[in-house]
Structure 1
């Protein structure tokens, strides 16, 4: 039955249990052509890029006391490289630049393409 801890079907008939035979596979990467074909499907997917200028930690009290004109000190020295994140994973460092009226980032170091794919 159901509550006796035994293995049986709902009606109480015995159930035949057999091991499942899974096909064997090795831990090798798929052939390069197959990997590239799958990657091609993803190349047009849009990612959110974020540049992090720095971080700071404040108490709830300090956050509640912030007003217009408040200054928060960040954990980076002026001129130090900033971090570039793709979907929340750091992939590069760079320097902040100005492009016409917008900020930009000149990349000074970046992880390998393989590491970037892993990060996504």
Structure 2
């Protein structure tokens, strides 16, 4: 939680800095000039001056995400669900040998196959979903 708290503090400090800069711009330019341009425009100009030519992803690199491997699924009525017992077999909607879905925070990003490495399970990515397909799945 310390990292999340630190990110919140940094975000709040940046917001306060931007608002303070907007107030200074307003005082310098007068209210007539302020009505001609948006206060957000001043913040955007300051941010664009700070940013390098490419996106700086260092701020998001430590944000935790949930990686999930989906073997398959099944739809069943609650009646059947309540009748499950130890040793019961649930048929999934996947064929044997079909690649598993790799999801990050519920969004499909890749497909792969299970591997065993020193008594631990892992996944070998066999296909990475294109950025266009990922964006399309969000809408």
TM-score by length of 2: 0.57
Q: Equivalents in 2 of 1:49, 1:116: separation in Å?
A: 18
Q: How many residues align?
A: 95
1:36 equivalent in alignment to 2:50? no
* Aligned-pair Cα RMSD in Å: 3.2
The structure-2 alpha-carbon separation of the partners of 1:45 and 1:115, relative to structure 1 and needing over 3 Å to count, comes to farther
Question: What's the secondary structure of 1:33's corresponding residue?
Answer: coil
Aligned to 1:6: none
Q: Deviations over 1:41-63 (max 9, x none)?
A: 00121111000000111110000
1:49 equivalent in alignment to 2:57? no
Q: Equivalents in 1 of 2:133, 2:64: separation in Å?
A: 14
Q: Equivalents in 2 of 1:117, 1:57: separation in Å?
A: 25
Counterpart among 59, 75, 79 of residue 97 in structure 2: 79
Unaligned 5+ residue runs, structure 1? Answer: 1-19
TM-score by length of 1: 0.65
Shift, 1:108, TM fit: 0.5
The structure-2 alpha-carbon separation of the partners of 1:94 and 1:76, relative to structure 1 and needing over 3 Å to count, comes to same
Shift, 1:21, TM fit: 5.7
